[in-house]
Amino acid sequence: MLWRELDLSVARGEFIAVLGPNGSGKTSLLRVLLGQLGLSAGRARIGGAEPRAGHPDIGYIPQQRTIDAGVQLRGTDLVGLGVDGHRWGLGLRGRAERRRKVAAAIADVGAEKFARAPLESMSGGEQQRLRVAQALVGDPAVLLCDEPLLSLDLASQQLVSGLIDRRRRDHGTAVLFVTHEINPILPLVDRVLYLVDGKFRIGTPDEVMTSAVLSELYQTDVDVLRVRGRLVVVGTGDTMDALGTAGAHCHGDPGTPHIPDPAGSDSGRQPRQAHT
């Protein structure tokens, strides 16, 4: 079992960072919300309904894999997969609208120069930018991002996190952002979900990223230092990027992660102020 009694509601426009060591269940949480993985107990809701595969209101940036050699997909094709065909129809107008959306999403991530090349010829960072474009092109109400900044240089990290931040502010998109490195997104984060070994804490970065909370989660002495606006986590044998392993296999109720209907009762709610 990965988590017990996890109860999380994500508001419209909210930016939640999901942290935790390898194997703590971060990707699994996203896969539950995508309808790719069932819960052994408990309930998940997204957009007011059971998770299901291919939900048009959900954007997903998968944990990075290299594109298999031999897959003859161009960048523009990948981004086009993120456009919901039903919404635009297949007529001439629909096709033109689709092309316009794809081009705009590609421009947003600054990928015009290489988007028409085969994916397998691109660098990891170039592929990653196109994955981000694919996730955003469908105008999602919920955005699930699995380590989206991995293999991006600093400028691209800022570009991508800025795009995601703008989307949730302008469109009220709720964001679950899995990361091993909180510093690049710290100013954007409303709340942190920290998973370790079947245990978790949810709260603002100030509430969760403390020596006391992390020492309790990790069951060992952990120091959280604040150095010039950055968080440095010490005492886990490594930096925050590799906080040890947490197999997290036990028995019990994994609880109920759920996300409210983005168009539902709280739809008038403004995005929260970014945490500073």
Ligand X SMILES: Nc1ncnc2c1ncn2[C@@H]1O[C@H](COP(=O)(O)OP(=O)(O)OP(=O)(O)O)[C@@H](O)[C@H]1O
Please report, as residue ranges, which positions from 44 to 73 form the binding site for Mg ion (by CB under 5 A). Answer: 63
Please report, as residue ranges, which positions from 170 to 209 form the binding site for ligand X (by CB under 6 A). Answer: none
Q: Which residue has the tokens 């007011």?
A: 48
Nearer of residues 9 and 63 to Mg ion, judged by Cβ? 63
Nearer of residues 36 and 210 to ligand X, judged by Cβ? 36
If one asks whether residue 35 binds ligand X (CB under 6 A), the answer comes out as no
3-state SS, residue 49: strand
3-state SS, residue 29: helix
Q: How many CA atoms lie within 13 A of 253 on its CB side?
A: 9
Q: Which stretch binds Mg ion (CB under 5 A): 24-32, 107-115, 165-173, 192-200?
A: 24-32
CB of 194 vs ligand X, minimal distance in Å: 11
Q: Which stretch binds ligand X (CB under 6 A): 25-33, 110-118, 159-167, 208-216?
A: 25-33
Judged by CB under 6 A, the residue of 1, 4, 9, 37 near ligand X is 37
d(CA 62, CA 240): 21
Q: How many CA atoms lie within 13 A of 196 on its CB side?
A: 20
DSSP type of residue 275: P
Residue 24's binding partner among Mg ion, ligand X, none (Cβ under 5 to 8 angstroms by kind) is ligand X
Residue 23's binding partner among ligand X, Mg ion, none (Cβ under 5 to 8 angstroms by kind) is ligand X
Q: How many CA atoms lie within 13 A of 67 on its CB side?
A: 21
Nearer of residues 10 and 178 to Mg ion, judged by Cβ? 178
3-state SS, residue 56: coil
d(CA 79, CA 202): 33
CB of 157 vs Mg ion, minimal distance in Å: 18
188-225 burial string, b = 16+ CB within 10 Å, else e? bbbbbbbbbbbbbbbeebeebbbeebbbebbeeebebe
Nearer of residues 28 and 173 to ligand X, judged by Cβ? 28
d(CA 200, CA 23): 13
Nearer of residues 83 and 182 to ligand X, judged by Cβ? 182
Residue 28's binding partner among Mg ion, ligand X, none (Cβ under 5 to 8 angstroms by kind) is ligand X
Q: Are 17 and 185 in contact (CB under 8 A)?
A: yes
Q: Which stretch binds ligand X (CB under 6 A): 18-26, 97-105, 115-123, 131-139?
A: 18-26
How far is CA 141 from each of CA 36, 89, 147, 162, 197, rounded to the nearest angstrom? 18, 20, 19, 17, 30
Please report, as residue ranges, which positions from 233 to 262 form the binding site for ligand X (by CB under 6 A). Answer: none
Judged by CB under 6 A, the residue of 12, 19, 27, 157 near ligand X is 27
Judged by CB under 5 A, the residue of 14, 17, 20, 27 near Mg ion is 27
CB of 187 vs Mg ion, minimal distance in Å: 24
CB of 13 vs Mg ion, minimal distance in Å: 25
Binding site for ligand X (CB under 6 A): 2, 20, 22-28, 37, 63
Binding site for Mg ion (CB under 5 A): 26-27, 63
